Amino acid sequence: MSSGAAPGPGVSSDLASLNAILARYKEPHLPSSIWQLVNTALPFFTVMVLSYWTAYRGWWPLTILLAIPASALLMRLFIIQHDCGHGSFFKSARANDWVGAVIGVLTLTPYTYWKQTHAIHHSTSGNLDRRGYGDIETLTVKEYLALSKWGRLKYRMYRSVPVLFFVGPAFHFVIYHRLPWIIPSSWKAERRSILLNDLALAALLYYAYCTVGMKPFFLVQLSVGVFTAIAGVWLFYIQHQFEETYWSKDEKWDLVTASLKGSSYFHLPKFFQWISGNIGFHHIHHLNSRIPNYKLESCMKENPVFQNVPRLTFWSAFKCVSLTLWDEDRSRLVGFHAVPR
């Protein structure tokens, strides 16, 4: 260790030496941040204007087709919001919060609420005793077998492809994020962010009513919003839900292991890497969330220590869909077929 301080609970002795490497990448570069914002927001709003124009003229098949590039760009905007939430996009906390909150209206994701729950995810990812916020619900084999038949059926429905990747994302972003009581009443700033996000959306709804009309508005916004939610949940799923991922009890949980073993390197073709804002370098992001997304790739390429990690490709990732339970005895995710009925 480069530091004389002993590591705290859940922190590997490797963390100090790794942090010395990561520190070289965590400073935001203002021109890069502004350029990323421009090269994402400008084409997004251009496609959205075209979408509204086609919807207003009744060319709805074309409107749905345009929702694909619009949702891809909106997902990239979400990554910028994500970086703002970590304080990594700008040096200024105020700039991060303002940009993140504005993008949060577009992504249907209240910024301060999401910022808090996502911070919990980072501090508990892979910890079996601290599941609950910012996770895709994952039971152990023993927990699943202890359920009643109805409990098992509910969990199977939740982990099914239609619910987890289609119905769930649409419900979560369109409806669930509108409800301030989904979080504790003591989280006043986070509840306020949900209400302010709802208020901004209501203002946009009224503006649409006075201009393009409700039918074009809902056609464009729902198609783009739902497509983005589906893609976003898929990316979040694949970052932690793969066969040899990492889960551990609280007393043995380790940040370095949770990051390097429990977060995947999702190796994507360049176009998809660009659209997803380099979030595929997720193991590095979990080690140090203050690194801007546009520096993650260089961090990995320049440091071999970050290269021997779980690697998924565009196609191999689909095999992970059937993994539903954590087998504590085998230390791996397994499917329902691997447990007795």
Determine what percent of the chain is predicted with pLDDT higher than 70.
Answer: 96
| Domain residue ranges of the chain, discontinuous segments joined by + | 26-338
Q: What's the gap between Cα 64 and its chain centre?
A: 24
Residue 277 parent element (H or E): none
Question: How large is the average pLDDT for residues 261-270?
Answer: 95
Question: How large is the average pLDDT for residues 209-229?
Answer: 95
Residue 89: Cβ-neighbour burial (10 angstroms; 0-12, 13-18, 19+):
buried
pLDDT tens-digit series, residues 292-327 = 999 999 999 999 999 989 999 989 999 999 999 999
DSSP three-state, residue 101 = helix
Taking the C-alpha atoms of residue 189 and residue 71, their distance in angstroms, rounded to an integer, is 28
What pLDDT score does 13 carry? 43
> pLDDT tier at 224 (50, 70, 90 boundaries)?
very high
Question: How large is the average pLDDT for residues 70-99?
Answer: 98
Give the residue ranges of DSSP H helices in the chain: 15-22, 30-56, 60-85, 93-106, 111-124, 141-145, 149-158, 161-162, 168-174, 188-210, 214-240, 255-260, 270-275, 282-287, 296-301
What pLDDT score does 146 carry? 97
pLDDT tens-digit series, residues 105-151 = 999 999 999 999 999 999 999 999 999 777 899 999 999 999 999 99
How much is the pTM? 0.92
What angle is formed at CA 337 by the lines to CA 310 and CA 160, rounded to 5 degrees? Answer: 75
What pLDDT score does 43 carry? 98
Taking the C-alpha atoms of residue 322 and residue 314, their distance in angstroms, rounded to an integer, is 16
pLDDT at 185 over 50: yes
- Mean pLDDT over all residues of the chain? 93
pLDDT at 10 over 60: no
Q: Distances in Å between the alpha carbon of 28 and those of 23, 34, 86, 93, 288? A: 11, 10, 12, 12, 13
The single-letter code of the amino acid at 328 is: E
pLDDT at 9 over 80: no
What pLDDT score does 5 carry? 34
Selected residue with higher pLDDT from 329 and 135: 329
